[in-house]
Amino acid sequence: MATDTISACTGSNLLQPISEIINLPLDQVNFVACQLCALLSAFCFRLYLHPSKTSPFVRHVVATLLGFYFALFCFGWYALHFLLQSGITYGIMILAGVEHMHKYCLVFALAYLSFCQITRVYVFDYGMYSADFTGPMMVITQKITSMAFEIHDGMARKEDQLNQSQKMLAIRRMPSLLEYFSYNCNFMGILAGPTCSYNDYIAFIEGKPFRHREQEKSARLQGKTRLNDPSPNMEVIRKLSTCFLSLLVFLSVCKVFPVERNVDDDFIATTPFYAQVVYLYLSMLTTRPKYYFVWTLADAINNAAGFGFNGYDSDGAPRWDLISNLRIMNIELATSFKMFLDNWNIQTAHWLKRVCYERCPYNPTAATFLLSAMWHGAYPGYYLTFLTGIVITLAARAPSGLFTVCIVSHGSADVTVANDTTTSSKRGS
């Protein structure tokens, strides 16, 4: 196959020479190249397709087409699963009606994701992460299910049945097919996410970031009028610097403590148990910068396009953390295990809380753990982790009603939690 063509399943071979020169797998090279192209596209998207210069229709079309091209470049025709899963669930939304579509969409989206994960792991590519198209599908599944529940909240439930978060995120009209695919498959989040609410995304596309998010009442701070469209450039530079440092640390130390050695037969047979535990900790420690790089770069891409603005802090500086997935300093300088967990895989924690914990009428903690296990994949270790976590969480629950929902991050043994003190929140639907 020529190097400038896209393989049927594993993406483009165009960058194969670069992959051989730097001695990294082609799928990783393709992923980073597409994310860098997405970053450049994001700047252009903000400058030349700004809401003041073009219509939401054009922004939706460009975001969707670019997103699918990047997916095709990385995953080949496996990327069709993204369209198929999204297309079928949209049909379910239209045909099932707002009363029950959220349940049907949740069942189908999870079943489709699980089918792809099982066949990838046990049928076609056991134990390998090459051409892992199920990673983006995990984020798309979050978006599909979140949207279905938010449409149900906005069109089938009464206002007094919703908590404050559900009122803010509720969708009051059925999205068009273009809006739906743009939300699920836009170039800013197609490869690495993070997930976001539909209302936040549409507000960004239409140039109305303040439409439903609560902002301070004062229009002025320290004598300066606030801008409705602050520049993200300094924030993007800061996050790209973090990406560079994370990648440098990962490439320099990951070969010293390779994760694969934890399951090496010779290592297990010749190393004392306490040394194995220490090595496990160190290998996990050196793996984290990889996730710092991927998630921070994804955040920077969204910010470069103008998405992610979350109001102003107390000093009047713009905040660009609306869809951030982690807080690195809080993780590395955590003074407790809880603090560490609260700052890892943040958007997935929000998704589990909003879709499952707040709504499940029976044993929500166990149901949330089970949903997290199903979403993460087909490896038995996930289920062992989450089923054990149910018992640990129930035993550790504080009298104040705090709960923790442990979530193993995709592809690693790290965990995170979502905390909630609103034990009086209404559950249902």
Strands 407-408 vs 11-12: parallel, antiparallel or unpaired: unpaired
Tell me the C-alpha distance between 301 and 142, whole Å. 19
**Can you give the pLDDT at residue 425?**
42
Q: What is the DSSP letter of 211?
A: S
Please tell me which residue, 172 or 421, carries the higher pLDDT value. 172
- 345 catalytic residue (yes or no): yes
Q: What is the mean pLDDT of residues 276-297?
A: 92
- The residue ranges of every structural domain in the chain are 6-215, 230-325, 329-429
Question: pLDDT of 87-142, one tens digit each?
Answer: 999 999 999 989 999 999 999 999 999 999 998 887 765 455 555 899 999 999 99
In the set 13, 184, 302, 345, the catalytic residue is: 345
pLDDT band at 178 (very low <50, low <70, confident <90, very high): very high
Is a pLDDT exceeding 90 seen at residue 202? yes
Q: Dihedrals φ, ψ of 115, to 5°?
A: -60, -45
**Can you give the pLDDT at residue 222?**
43
Give me the half-sphere count of Cα atoms (radius 13 Å) on the Cβ side of residue 267: 15
**Can you give the pLDDT at residue 194?**
93
In the set 60, 81, 102, 376, the catalytic residue is: 376
Is a pLDDT exceeding 70 seen at residue 388? yes
pTM of the model: 0.87
- 102 catalytic residue (yes or no): no
> CB atoms < 10 A from the CB of 227, how many?
9
Tell me the C-alpha distance between 130 and 221, whole Å. 50
- Give the tokens for residue 296: 């921070």
Please tell me which residue, 200 or 405, carries the higher pLDDT value. 200
Among 35-49, 213-227, 365-379, whose mean pLDDT is lowest? Answer: 213-227
**Can you give the pLDDT at residue 401?**
44
Is a pLDDT exceeding 80 seen at residue 205? yes
Question: pLDDT of 306-325, one tens digit each?
Answer: 999 988 888 888 999 999 99
Question: pLDDT of 42-81, one tens digit each?
Answer: 999 999 999 999 999 999 999 999 999 999 999 998 999 9
